[in-house]
Amino acid sequence: MHIVMVEPEIPGNTGNVARLCAANHMTLHLVKPLGFSLEDKYLKRAGLDYWPLVDVRVHENVAEVLDAYAGHNMYYLTTKSDQCYADISFAQDDLLFFGKETKGLPEEMLKAHPERCFRIPMVEAARSLNLSNSVAIVAYEALRQLRFPQLTGGIGISNLT
């Protein structure tokens, strides 16, 4: 599974996502421009001592990711969709795209692939959830569907549907 953060702005969110990726054998893709340095102390603190466990790949732009992973399923998480993330049938090497904290994913990306856009349900008055929380929600649904591959306690779990 691949988590793609497009132009993340807040180092703590990215550090939290890096830790989630480390704990779940997920590749973390960071698409520039980043709103912080990869040496940022808040980024490092949020990721704790998990950084050596994270497969982090930095990309110059979204096109670089799309080209490198052509043929993979790509899903775009946004508040601008009526489709629920829980309706995705995930596969092992899918890419989950999340946009920057202040604006989300670029409109042109969403308009080009409306069938691949999904949201996390929430009350209408709520603008959005925290980015790292959103990544965790969707990532764990994908892992649940895949029966938690290569994770402690994941093999043989039969009571999860």
On whether 38 is known to bind a ligand per the annotation, the reply is: no
**pLDDT 10s digits, 18-38:** 999 999 999 999 999 999 888
158 assigned to a ligand binding site? no
Structural domain boundaries, residue 99: 2-146
Task: Kindly report, residue by residue over 105-145, the tens digit of the pLDDT.
Answer: 999 999 999 999 999 999 989 989 999 999 999 999 999 99
Residue 24: CATH number of its domain: 3.40.1280.10
Q: What is the DSSP letter of 72?
A: S
In a domain, 153, yes or no: no
Q: CA-CA-CA-CA torsion for 48, 52, 55, 61, nearest 10 degrees? A: 70
Q: Is 53 helix (H, G, I), strand (E, B) or coil?
A: helix
Residue 161 lies inside a defined structural domain of this protein: no
pLDDT at 52: 84
- Which residue, 154, 148, 158, is CA-closest to 1? 148
Question: For the chain, how many structural domains are there in total?
Answer: 1
**Is 99 labelled as part of a ligand binding site?**
yes
The reply, when asked if residue 134 is annotated as ligand binding, is no
Let me know if residue 56 belongs to a domain: yes
* 93's tokens: 């090497």
What integer pLDDT is reported at residue 161 of this predicted model? 45
